[in-house]
Amino acid sequence: MGSRRPGRLISRFIALIYVAVLVLVPLIVITWKTVRPGPSAFWSAISSEQAVTAFRLTAEIALAAVALNTVFGVGLALLIARYRFPGRRLLSALADLPISVSPIVVGLALVLVYGPVDGWFGKGLHDAGIDIIFAVPGMILATTFVSLPLILRELVPVLLEAGTEQEQAARVLGANARQRFVRITVPIIRPALMYGIVLSLARSIGEFGAVLVVSGNVSGAGQTQTVPLLVSERVQQLEPGSYQLAFLLIMVTVLAIVLVSLRRERSGSREPGPNEGALDDLTGGGVAPAVPAQPAGVAPSDSHTIALDKDGPR
């Protein structure tokens, strides 16, 4: 539909310049600063003992966090999407809360409860020999906290959309609860789950602020230094090798984004027609910023509560 030629070009121009200046230029600069010192510098930056320890620790923490969030994410998603109980909306909001909380606040919160000195539970745990803060468990908790909603929010809309008909059909055919879950529910949520796991993994690998507070930032010792923390140390101590590590993390991020966008494209065409907006309604939602956004915030169930409020004999 004829929009003014020059207007369209100007908009395109402004938009592209904005993205280029804000994102492209910095990425190019970083790539250049990584590549310039040469491959041997790159190798020594990522193969030092400290770096390798950091990689291992980051992987350990990230996988643990993602595993926890997957288990609880699936469970909570099923509860929120499939059941009605008082406080359901509150629960959903609570599970969504972590997205809006500053990472420093997250770290502080965990320290206050699980810290060894006067944490609410931490003191008792410390006396019993269990260290959470300033140790790996605390870092896992912090990482789990910040990526908590990512999986959950991908699953709830899918579950709401799919309804329970398929499970009911399976039940009538004789499947028990475990079989229904494995054979029916899991395939339904699998794409969204994969999506959420990738997002969650990328987030967990990259978490900085919360882990910083909770780790006590004991540098050099390496027991509680993840890759982001190492990057920070190298920069602030003016040591070499920060760019190379950062570059690696950027690659991981880009990989995650590419994977996730491929999935998005496969499950619902994103291409609008030549002149028109897409005829397909991707998100199934009108004005509510529901499904695909990583950044979206609020309890996704809210826009769908209407469906669950119907009461009726059947």
Residue 289 lies near another protein (rule: CB under 8 A)? yes
Report the residue number, 36 or 40, with the smaller CB distance to another protein: 36
282 binds another protein (CB under 8 A): yes
What residues between 20 and 79 interact with another protein by CB under 8 A? 22-27, 29-30, 32-33, 72, 75-76, 78-79
C-alpha span between 268 and 276 (Å, rounded): 17
Please give the single-letter amino acid code of residue 164: T
> What is the distance between the alpha carbons of residues 27 and 144, in angstroms, rounded to a whole number?
28
CB nearer another protein, residue 107 or residue 196: 107
Of 53, 161, 250, 267, which lies in the binding site for another protein, with binding defined by CB under 8 A? 250
Element (H, E) at 204: helix 186-206
**Of the two residues 26 and 187, which places its CB atom closer to another protein in the complex?**
26
Choose the stretch contacting another protein; rule: CB under 8 A; options: 41-49, 131-139, 188-196, 291-299.
291-299
Measured CA distances, 141 to 45, 69, 213, 294 (Å): 28, 10, 12, 21
Q: Least CB distance from residue 116 to another protein, whole Å?
A: 13
Contacts with another protein in 124-153 (CB under 8 A)?
141, 144-145, 148
Residue with tokens 């991020």: 253
Footprint (CB under 8 A) of another protein, residues 198-217: 199, 202-203, 205-209, 212-213
Among residues 165, 220, 238, 266, which is the contact residue for another protein, using CB under 8 A? 165
Q: Report the 10 Å Cβ neighbour count for 117.
A: 10
CA distances to 28, 31, 41 from 244, in Å? 13, 9, 8
163 forms part of the interface with another protein (CB under 8 A): yes
CB 48 within 8 A of CB 241: yes
